[in-house]
Amino acid sequence: MCSKLPIVSLPNCDVSNICGKQFTVETLSEYFSRVCSLIEDKAFYSHQSEVAWETGKALTDPKPIMKNLFEKLQLEVTKDE
């Protein structure tokens, strides 16, 4: 994703859990249709590339990840007080 490569994934798997709904399709038929769209539609490919880039940046930025972790830890610590 950080290399701007669009992803196509089926639901309920490790890839879809990480990449999100914008890269997930429900069926194999939709999967092949999405791949064909990426090959044939340059504007769609370009859009999905940018979404992949932004998603990849967000997934690899440690600040929000650590902030979320600390907030969850703080909630756990304070809920017993």
How deeply is 7 buried, as exposed, middle or buried, from its count of CB atoms within 10 A (0-12, 13-18, 19+)? buried
Burial 35-59 (b: 16+ CB within 10 A, else e): eeebeeeeeeeeebbebbbebbeee
- The answer to whether residue 3 sits within a structural domain is no
Number of domains forming the structure of the chain: 1
Q: What is the pTM of this model?
A: 0.70
- The answer to whether residue 7 sits within a structural domain is no
Compute the CA torsion angle 36, 38, 44, 46 (nearest 10 deg): -170
- The answer to whether residue 1 sits within a structural domain is no
User: How do residues 15-63 score in pLDDT, each as one tens digit?
Assistant: 888 888 889 999 999 999 999 999 999 999 999 999 999 998 888 888 8
